[in-house]
Structure 1
């Protein structure tokens, strides 16, 4: 192979001089996109819980559900959330009635911290019942695994 060293632009010519590459190499971009897709597919289910609460442990089996239910959460300080939005207890009935445009057949799950007073949970359940909803379930953690179990209550 011939090698030439020159100090200027018009100096010695090399017979192995390449033309500038004008095409985009797509393979690295596709690799990065596939890795990002996998990361988001793994991370997405972990982001659905919402308000963190310490659920009570039970031996009940998990119920199967077709669609996403409404969730009312009561955290350790007694604050009430509808889905992930904080609400005052007096506003629960009005908000649930506004949501129920197609009837009251939608299931509602109550997630309450295990340290919450039982009377507080029953107060929220009675408000949901007075809004016209009859399918109310209590969400608990299973005692043997980490998958939440949902027990049905009326």
Structure 2
């Protein structure tokens, strides 16, 4: 720190050093506050929860196995169908059970146009749960 001299003949210049003492004081006060309040934030209530043993109830909803081959042939649960028969079948199935799932098994060489068309017909009929079945084995 620069101290002024007793010589009055010299010109006084402004002090160019930064006074960090107030900054250190504020930081120490904040540090003490955080040290005191931190354990209070992690306080939790100990509760003895009851023990229960149960097995999951796995129920398989009705689903439609729909197959598409690369030659554009369609199969409803293994039964051959045409594109014209899909809309009435999807509508009737959706009216019976709105939570029915449509599992699409498409050949890897089938054109996307056929898959999209089947999905569109199913969605218009009211089937909202549509999934693709794939083979998990690596080839």
Matched, 1:105 2:99: yes
Q: Which residue of 2 aligns with 1:74?
A: 68
Aligned-residue offset at 1:99: 2.6
Determine the C-alpha separation between the residues in 2 that align with 1:124 and 1:100: 15
Q: What is the DSSP-based 3-state SS (H/G/I as helix, E as strand, rest coil) of the residue aligned with 2:84?
A: helix
Give unmatched runs, 5+ long, in structure 2. Answer: 1-57
Aligned-residue offset at 1:76: 2.1
- Structure that is richer in helix per residue: 2
Return closer, same or farther for 1:103/1:69 CA change in 2, 3 Å cut-off: closer
Return closer, same or farther for 1:88/1:113 CA change in 2, 3 Å cut-off: same
TM-score where L is the length of structure 2: 0.53
Q: Which has the larger radius of gyration?
A: 2
Extract structure 1 runs of 4+ deviating beyond 6 A: none
User: Aligned runs of 1:85-124 on 2, under 5 Å?
Assistant: 85-124=79-118
Give a deviation string over 1:3-25, Cα, whole Å, max 9, x none. Answer: xxxxxxxxxxxxxxxxxxxxxxx
Return closer, same or farther for 1:65/1:128 CA change in 2, 3 Å cut-off: farther
Give unmatched runs, 5+ long, in structure 1. Answer: 1-63, 146-154
User: Aligned runs of 1:29-48 on 2, under 5 Å?
Assistant: none
- Structure that is richer in strand per residue: 1
Determine the C-alpha separation between the residues in 2 that align with 1:135 and 1:143: 25
TM-score where L is the length of structure 1: 0.48
Matched, 1:135 2:129: yes
Q: What is the DSSP-based 3-state SS (H/G/I as helix, E as strand, rest coil) of the residue aligned with 1:140?
A: coil
Task: Name the count of aligned residue pairs.
Answer: 82
Aligned-residue offset at 1:68: 4.4
Determine the C-alpha separation between the residues in 2 that align with 1:91 and 1:68: 20
